A = this chain, B = another copy of it.
Amino acid sequence: MIRPRSDAHCSTFAPQCFSSLSAPALRHFHSVAVCHYRDSHETLIREGSPASQVLILCSGRVKLVAASAEGRIFLLRVAGPGDFLGLAALLQSAVYRVTAETLDPCVIKSIPRADFIRFMTLYPDVGHSIAQTLAHEYNGAVLTARRLALHTSAAGKLASTLLDLARVDEPDNGPAPTNLPISFVMQLTHEDLGSMAGLSRETVSRLLTRFRRDGQLNQTLDRMTLNHPIQMEARYV
């Protein structure tokens, strides 16, 4: 297991949405947040268990998944540095709604429920930042639902899933969706992609070869390039 040499990194890390907080608020944050190190393939949060704390991911990637009784798996998204885990559950439902599993060795901070609530009600700006974070996550979830419901064909589901993945990496929020190739790091297996798009592993495999043949897609070792994003939106209903 790889650990940072010291806590220097961890003690200063705060999520992006807290960048505009006052100094006292930030000090409060660092006083209640406890740092932890986790290996790959560890479970940080378990679906259905009581939401006793909120986690903040400092480094590494974390899969958020939901499982059905029959063993089927839905991959909601892959969280990265700066993301909150279990925030909505802590604020609302008292029970985590997804399972969080590390993909890499991770550094995380945890804040117990009571401490977090106190921190939030003490500083108005914190409430505001948290609300914005939640709004962002909400929009992501709505887009996911939309994707799953609106695309009838498997090709459409997979294409829009890939486009979403590509665009999350691009911090580019410009109003002009370009038709220039988008390239991004693909760390998901076909099985993962299938459980994001609601498709079987084999179908994903078949479709990717089809996209490649159609000239829409290029793949190197761990990168994926979408050659004509706009056409891709349109071509695969």
Spell out A's residues near B (CB within 8 Å): 66, 68-70, 72-74, 76, 87-93, 97-98, 120-128, 130-132, 134-139, 141-146, 148-152, 195-198, 233-234, 237
Contacts and interface: CB of A to CB of B under 8 A. Distances in A.
Given A148-B145, A149-B74, A138 B198 contact: no
Majority secondary structure, A binding face: helix
Give how many copies assemble into the complex: 2
Among A66, A87, A88, A145, the most chain B Cβ lie within 10 Å of the Cβ of A145
Contacts of A152: 72
B148 A198 contact: yes
Among A69, A123, A124, A142, the most chain B Cβ lie within 10 Å of the Cβ of A142
Contacts of A74: 145-146, 149-150
Given A130-B127, A152-B72, A234-B69, A145 B141 contact: yes
